[in-house]
Amino acid sequence: MRRYLLVVLAAVILGSALGWIVTAQPDIPGYVVSDLQLISQESKADWSEKWTGPIQAATILAWFADHGYPAFLRDFNNDGVIDELDTIELADILGRIFMSTETIRGTTDVRLVLGLAQYVAETYPGQFVLKIYDSGLPGEMAMEAGQTYDPNLVAGIELVLEVDPSIAAYEEELESGEGVVIGIELSDGNTYLSGRSFLYEPTTGGNAPIDLAWSSEDYWLVGNQGKVLETVGKMDDVFYLDYQSGWERVEFMLALSPADDPHGTSDPNECPDNAIAYDVFITEIGDTGSVEVEECVTRTDDVDTYTYTVTNIDFLYNGCGLCLFAIPKPVTLATLTHSESVPWLYSLYPSAWVWRLPLGSCGILPGESAVFSVSVPGPTSDSLVIGVIGSCATFSPSGVYQPSELAGIRTTGPADPDEESGCPDLAVRYLDQSCQCDPIDGVCTLRVWVDVVNVGTETILVPFDISLTSLGHPGGDTQTYIVPPIFAPGDVWPVQLSYTFSMGGELCPMDYVVTVDPSPAPDGVIAECDESNNSYFGSIDCFCDEQERGACCLPDGSCVEITSAECADEGGDFHPGVSCAVVQCPPPEQSCVDLIVEITEMSCRNVGAAAPQYELTIEALVTNIGSATVTESIWVRASTDCGSDTDIVHTDLDPGDSATAEFVIECGIQGGCHPLTVTVDHTLFIVECDENNNEDTDTVCCR
């Protein structure tokens, strides 16, 4: 693969609407949430079919955590990474603390709504709306919870009551980038599933193909894994779902939605000098305007990353900009990772990567850009492809859905290595450098550490050289790769080059160049994809009169090459006359948080009129006695023999800082004295220096 600059202007003449320009374009059959996690109801030994509610609530929260709301999912299991195992723990927390799943009845529609609303409001207060498609919910809420439905029933989130569920509402909410959960009522209780996809074209029988995240265990996979339920829905008198060989009524649906969607723009990507491909295409799309696509391809080990910056030059359609971007992919090419800015939505199809803005957006407007990337197993070949851009889907004043209009654009994308012939390509990757001078002998020694990498797609079968030279100081060093003379794509050859020279001339700084395959001029002995990436130009201070330089180990464990005075200012450990390549700096001291709690006030009073009704009021002081700042929400619980209450401290706590937690516990007619325990971080969200000092106990008495 070669790194080159290719700028193409493609004129596309279209009619009254946008359309395809060639047939070899990505197939976009519908909408799919490709990165939705699949959690099994058998992930924990004490879970059962009753856990589908908290499982699907955790599923959509984990999706939002990857799309701009990271606080929804934390390292609950303290293994150092945030992944599906933490989603399982989140589902367990939702079921036990928020949704009463362990009760005989299990999670109901009311408990699902109120529990999810409470968790979202406590984590991101005022930033979400929860839409409920169930006209019977107010009655269920009054009967089950003794509460009157109110949009502001849960502080920090708005509850919006919609009409009963429908396929149109399911598709609209899913394509709007919202977390969708549907519920069906079976003989043994409620079953919940998360919305995952739908196809634009109905079946021959007129049904709507959809699939959903299903918590039923997939026994064909190792470990615990949920399934994808591929099914259809139909609208009769109500919304029905084909579930386990029978039509079941969808009697409940909720949609969790951010109150304010970000605009979806991002700063253009800056392509690094060591990129293996760089292309720019400008496509004119009839009289609707033009679009620029800038592609940058980088390679790290055996992974190729394709990054696209899409810029709307002057494209407008129905007053809005670009809302969809798609790149074709080889069907056999695996997708390792993807990235996009919030709120862009990503879908993976067998033959395409597709990004789109949520329904209702007006897109990236003229002059704005958005950046997308995918990483795939390398090496791949960068080939000309036909991508797709799309206008923004809208609703007419009468409520009729107007889908995106699509247009083809020219760009480049990955191909499998065997799809076309390739070429070798040698590149120099800088690692480290040092320069030591002896004023008594009047000589200096320059050392440079580099990697030579074949970033091309073909094997090199002949010997080649790498050289170190400096125009200001004659001499140099050359090494030859000859054993074995086989240098495959992706191979790396670590090289140390050095030579000694007289101290005369410019030494601060001293310029040098490392060149692979340097002779014979001008292109060396190997015909490469790109002959312009064979050199690394470096500069180093060899001997400065004002002060000797050396390696400085900083308190954070890193190493820099500076003077002894500069090192002292940084609080580092100085090693004169050597480079960081030969110094092993000690790791930094680990810091950690440590939370303690102290009961500061407690009281009990009778708040009843005709009969005693006792109410406990408690205050506790939470203090961080550790050496690191607490940046997560701190959950604090007060427990007595007549009830409990939970408070959350949202304020970041620096070392030594404190915050107050307050609790109110209704004890009913139970007077007398009550043993009291206050526990900080009772959910064990936060990793602390000491996990055994999180409680304080006392006794509160009612007089």
- Summarised one tens digit per residue, pLDDT across range 434-459 is 888 887 788 889 999 999 988 887 77
- Do the beta carbons of residue 564 and residue 550 sit within 8 Å? yes
Cα separation of 651 and 659, whole Å? 8
- Do the beta carbons of residue 571 and residue 555 sit within 8 Å? yes
Cα separation of 413 and 383, whole Å? 5
How does DSSP assign 144-156, residue by residue? HH-----TTSSTT
Say what the pTM is.
0.59
Topology adopted by domain 595-702: Immunoglobulin-like (2.60.40)
Q: Is residue 611 scored above 80 in pLDDT?
A: no
Percentage of the chain surpassing pLDDT 90? 45
pLDDT of residue 119: 96
Residue 547: pLDDT band by 50, 70, 90 thresholds? low
The first and second tokens of residue 665, run together, are: 């516990």
pLDDT of residue 510: 84
The domain locations on the chain are: 5-23+274-391+403-419, 46-258, 426-545, 595-702
- Do the beta carbons of residue 120 and residue 99 sit within 8 Å? no
pLDDT of residue 401: 65
Q: At 334, which amino acid appears? A: A
Closest CA to 630 of 576, 560, 680, 572: 680
pLDDT of residue 6: 37
pLDDT of residue 3: 35
The first and second tokens of residue 66, run together, are: 């990857």
Reported as a single tens digit per residue, the pLDDT across 583-608 is 888 877 778 899 999 999 999 988 87
- Do the beta carbons of residue 352 and residue 324 sit within 8 Å? no
**DSSP code of residue 350:** T
Cα separation of 118 and 159, whole Å? 11
Residue 305: pLDDT band by 50, 70, 90 thresholds? very high
Reported as a single tens digit per residue, the pLDDT across 53-109 is 999 999 999 999 998 899 999 999 999 999 999 999 999 999 999 998 988 888 999
Q: At 99, which amino acid appears? A: M
The first and second tokens of residue 405, run together, are: 């209009």
- Do the beta carbons of residue 295 and residue 372 sit within 8 Å? no
pLDDT of residue 26: 62
Q: Is residue 8 scored above 80 in pLDDT?
A: no
The first and second tokens of residue 60, run together, are: 């959509």
Q: At 542, which amino acid appears? A: C
Order of strands, sheet of 658-668, starting from the edge strand that comes earlier in the sequence = 595-606, 614-624, 658-668
* Mean pLDDT value across residues 453-469: 84
Lowest mean pLDDT among 122-136, 173-187, 468-482: 468-482
Architecture of domain 5-23+274-391+403-419: Sandwich (2.60)
Average pLDDT in the chain? 86
Residue 11: pLDDT band by 50, 70, 90 thresholds? very low
Reported as a single tens digit per residue, the pLDDT across 484-507 is 667 877 788 899 999 998 887 778
Cis check for the bond before 489: say yes or no (omega within 30 of 0).
Answer: no
Residue 70's CB: how many other CB atoms inside 10 A? 11
Order of strands, sheet of 672-680, starting from the edge strand that comes earlier in the sequence = 643-649, 634-640, 672-680, 695-702
Q: Which range has the top average pLDDT, 21-25, 194-198, 502-506?
A: 194-198
Residue with tokens 């269920």, as numbered in its chain: 140
For domain 426-545, say whether CATH 3.40.50.1820 is its number.
Answer: no
Task: Give me the count of residues in the chain.
Answer: 703
Q: Is residue 685 scored above 90 in pLDDT?
A: no
The distance between the two most distant Cα atoms of the chain, rounded to a whole number of Å, is 104
Contacts of 183 (CB under 8 A, 6+ apart): 53, 109, 112, 190, 191, 192, 193, 250, 251, 252, 253
How far the first Cα of the chain sits from its last, in Å, is 83
Q: Which helix (H) or strand (E) holds 565?
A: helix 564-569
Cα separation of 5 and 696, whole Å? 67
Cα separation of 334 and 277, whole Å? 20
Cα separation of 191 and 256, whole Å? 18
Q: At 567, which amino acid appears? A: C
* Mean pLDDT value across residues 259-278: 87
Contacts of 308 (CB under 8 A, 6+ apart): 293, 294, 295, 296, 325, 327, 371, 372, 373, 411
Q: Is there a common fold for 5-23+274-391+403-419 and 595-702? A: yes
